[in-house]
């Protein structure tokens, strides 16, 4: 928490998502839990939270791409040099497994 630069934020977010994965409970002892309404709601919330994080990261990276293009293309590069705009860094995914869709699996 309290991460400053984009790089720090990226590392913090990776830690958070890893923690979410580690929160998964073993349900092999409770096979009927999978059909429980409350469990399905929990699964939905977890999936959507992971998705929202991923889409926020994607939206940020799109904006960074757009900005980096703009400061290099004419005529906006003139304004950029006037005000010393520098290229922003992307919010990179540290762990390759994060690129996969959220797997809400409750197996060990």
Nearer to another protein, 14 or 104 (CB): 104
Site for another protein contains 14 (CB under 8 A): no
Peptide bond into 75 cis (omega under 30): yes
Site for another protein contains 87 (CB under 8 A): no
Nearer to another protein, 99 or 108 (CB): 99
Q: String of b and e for 37-51 (b: at least 16 CB within 10 Å)? A: eebeeeeeebeeebe
Site for another protein contains 37 (CB under 8 A): yes
Q: What is the DSSP string of 52-63?
A: HHHHHHHHHHHH
Q: Site residues (CB under 8 A) for another protein?
A: 30-33, 35-37, 41, 44-45, 47-48, 51-52, 55-56, 58-59, 62-63, 65-66, 69, 73, 99-105
């Amino acid at each position: 928490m309290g991460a400053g630069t984009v790089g720090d934020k990226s590392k913090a977010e990776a830690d958070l998502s890893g923690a979410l994965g580690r929160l998964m409970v073993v349900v092999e002892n409770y096979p009927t839990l999978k059909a429980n309404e409350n469990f399905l709601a929990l699964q939905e919330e977890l999936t959507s939270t992971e998705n929202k994080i991923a889409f926020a990261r994607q939206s940020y990276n799109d904006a960074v791409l757009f900005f980096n293009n703009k400061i290099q293309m004419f005529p906006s590069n003139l304004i950029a040099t006037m005000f010393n705009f520098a290229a922003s860094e992307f919010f990179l995914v540290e762990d390759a497994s994060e690129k996969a869709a959220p797997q809400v699996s409750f197996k060990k």
